[in-house]
Structure 1
């Protein structure tokens, strides 16, 4: 009984800690693009700040494992939190575009390290029969924390440095739950080993899906506040928009994921891409004067984008031998981070010429290309019977497959 209570307290401390981090992150995801778009910075700077997060994450996913093996989970967690605080301090110094881009890259590297550590600990503290529920709670709490941070952004003055100071506060609070509990030290996460050929052999649809979801997620989550601010949407309305978008994941992903447990996941992926295109077209048509309707449209937009990521991951696990889970997770992590860097970078370069709404067209284009690829694969390869499919789990593309290294290792054992 005592051991079970200890495990529950350990899991609660991890979830509480990362939810506090998410509140600060949600605030900065809205604050940074909003302020940069309203500032005298060049048009490419807000998009570059979005791209920097993914680029930093790519660096972080490669360096986190060696760091954890060298100093241990607890010290690495403190270091990554310190980097989040340092990034917020740099932003609090005033609007300096180059400095802010560097700060967002620093945050991206720290964020992936946080995810690897927290999910490694979560897998180690959870029993096998309820590990999936613990992971689902983690994802949901993190996404709700992002929404809460966005909502809080709308309630503070945008002038000055209060937003980064509040982010520093929540990040400091996040250190306490893990620092004050007796968490057992889990094994170091698996090495990030890239095996594109193996991932392609296991499931081309899953590999390309994770690539697509990297671009889709960073476009929708990163460029929406830029788009809203460029159309003179108020700070409070931008905050509400970002808040509502986070709950699109819960509304769209669960029913689509449940459906993918019963029919071919590839069919559900095509349907999800169709939903992305429909939501994108609606986003272009609905006027900013009908802000409530626009918020609902963007909630569907964001929810459908997140669903591509989670179903693609489930499809990969259906078709991969457990012995290959670790290299698969490593490959998917790097693939997601690379696409999340390159696609927003391209949109950032082209936005000054084509306008702030370019990200919507780019998102629809990625969805159409991916749906076409899935349809081609449907004609080439047999479906996996439902009884051989693994149970779908809620995942968020905003919490990339960083923790899958530890999760895959636990499952392989």
Structure 2
């Protein structure tokens, strides 16, 4: 086996490439809903664009493994970047609502493939004693990149095709660090196996938690700019709102994650769901006349949503044998993608009935139902002692555990 690099600096190329990708992604996450909502497109189109990202991600779960096994990590990364560029180019050609919806689906497939390749490569390149730090750096850089992309959207004209062209620029830039890296290419990943009975047997709370997190993340991150644009919020303020939301992850997830290492993680999950309910009530009552307060509320909203995902993953790892980590991650990835498709689709269908606040009601309903489920499970099974738990790691629900395709040897070293 190829000798692994010995420090965090050795993975700088992967982190740099994915940060550049994130800047472009953050730009489009703000631009596409804003432009569609302000256009003459039918009311269902902005929601359909959000749903297609998640559906494309589900497709990416299927195609990524065979692609990597066929051509290797580096070439597969280049191919997925090319698809991101093509999806942005389709949007840059002009306002064609159905084309834009399909383009977001293409982005979803290529984006999930990017995550799978990057996380697989990181797991292979990092040694056991600093792998956790490597993944934390990776997630942090990606989240900062998303926020930066959203902020940049507020600095350029929304009219015309400059935002997708800027996205194309950063995506092309992302090819350079990977193209020039001296990191050894990982071996072909093992076949992805989906084992829902095993995951459910080990941790129903974690499995349902990842399902909840998929729906929560996609509706909160995807529909917030639609909600803001529908209320005539300016482009700059929509960009600032999306920028601030990304940093709610750090403010909420770190303290809640640390707490979950010390007490029953299920109690922390219930507390996190209560935070989502509080944030939802505040979001319903807050007005756009006080944007600073609204930004803080949605930062709390987004941060709590991200926290459900990370703690549910930690809870699953606590109860799973290391030999089953690969099928666990595979199953969680598919579950997240499926829920991230279904819940936004339901919001899109119901929005004409309940209005632009439908996504807030949906997030609150998902959080309440999940809290009740966890509460019911508290009586069914004892918590894993703290000394036997996996350490909590920063994770983003916007980057589901695509390490599902990592070969078993990465965990068995």
Q: Normalised by the shorter chain, which TM-score bucket?
A: over 0.9
**Does 2:200 correspond to 1:200?**
yes
The alignment yields a C-alpha RMSD, in angstroms, of: 1.3
The DSSP-based 3-state class of the residue aligned with 1:344 is: helix
Kept in 2, the 8 Å contact 1:193–1:330? The answer is yes
Cα distance change, pair 172–6 in 1 and its aligned pair in 2 (3 A): farther
Deviation at 1:87, TM superposition (A): 0.2
Q: Which stretch of the first structure deviates more once superposed, 49-58 or 177-186?
A: 177-186
Counterpart Cα distance in 2 of 1:53 and 1:407 = 27
**Does 2:274 correspond to 1:274?**
yes
Aligned pairs for 1:378-397 (under 5 A) are 378-397=378-397
Counterpart Cα distance in 1 of 2:346 and 2:69 = 35
Kept in 1, the 8 Å contact 2:5–2:127? The answer is no
Kept in 1, the 8 Å contact 2:4–2:127? The answer is no
Kept in 1, the 8 Å contact 2:120–2:402? The answer is no
Counterpart Cα distance in 2 of 1:412 and 1:202 = 20
CA deviation string 1:67-113 (max 9, x = no partner): 10011111101100000000000000111111001100000000111
Kept in 2, the 8 Å contact 1:329–1:408? The answer is no
The DSSP-based 3-state class of the residue aligned with 2:363 is: helix
Alignment partner, residue 145 of structure 1: 145
Counterpart Cα distance in 2 of 1:271 and 1:408 = 34
CA deviation string 1:153-188 (max 9, x = no partner): 000000000000000000000000010121201122
Counterpart Cα distance in 2 of 1:305 and 1:353 = 25
Counterpart Cα distance in 2 of 1:343 and 1:168 = 29
Aligned pairs for 1:217-232 (under 5 A) are 217-232=217-232
Kept in 2, the 8 Å contact 1:191–1:330? The answer is no
Alignment partner, residue 209 of structure 1: 209
Alignment partner, residue 247 of structure 2: 247
Alignment partner, residue 19 of structure 1: 19
Deviation at 1:408, TM superposition (A): 6.2
Gaps of 5+ in 2: none
The DSSP-based 3-state class of the residue aligned with 2:371 is: helix
Deviation at 1:4, TM superposition (A): 8.2
Deviation at 1:403, TM superposition (A): 2.0
Aligned length: 411
Deviation at 1:127, TM superposition (A): 1.4
Counterpart Cα distance in 1 of 2:95 and 2:408 = 41
Counterpart Cα distance in 2 of 1:181 and 1:332 = 30
Q: Compute the TM-score of the two structures, normalised by the length of structure 1.
A: 0.98
Counterpart Cα distance in 1 of 2:326 and 2:351 = 38
Alignment partner, residue 349 of structure 2: 349
Kept in 2, the 8 Å contact 1:119–1:407? The answer is no
- Please identify runs of 4+ aligned residues in structure 1 that moved more than 3 A: 3-10
Alignment partner, residue 316 of structure 2: 316
The DSSP-based 3-state class of the residue aligned with 1:380 is: coil
Counterpart Cα distance in 1 of 2:223 and 2:206 = 25
CA deviation string 1:2-24 (max 9, x = no partner): x8877544400100000000000
Deviation at 1:125, TM superposition (A): 1.4
Counterpart Cα distance in 2 of 1:191 and 1:164 = 35
CA deviation string 1:229-273 (max 9, x = no partner): 000100000000000000000000000000000000000000000
Kept in 1, the 8 Å contact 2:6–2:127? The answer is no
Kept in 2, the 8 Å contact 1:326–1:409? The answer is no
Aligned pairs for 1:13-412 (under 5 A) are 13-406=13-406, 410-412=410-412
Kept in 2, the 8 Å contact 1:53–1:104? The answer is yes
Counterpart Cα distance in 2 of 1:407 and 1:272 = 33
Gaps of 5+ in 1: none
Deviation at 1:407, TM superposition (A): 7.6
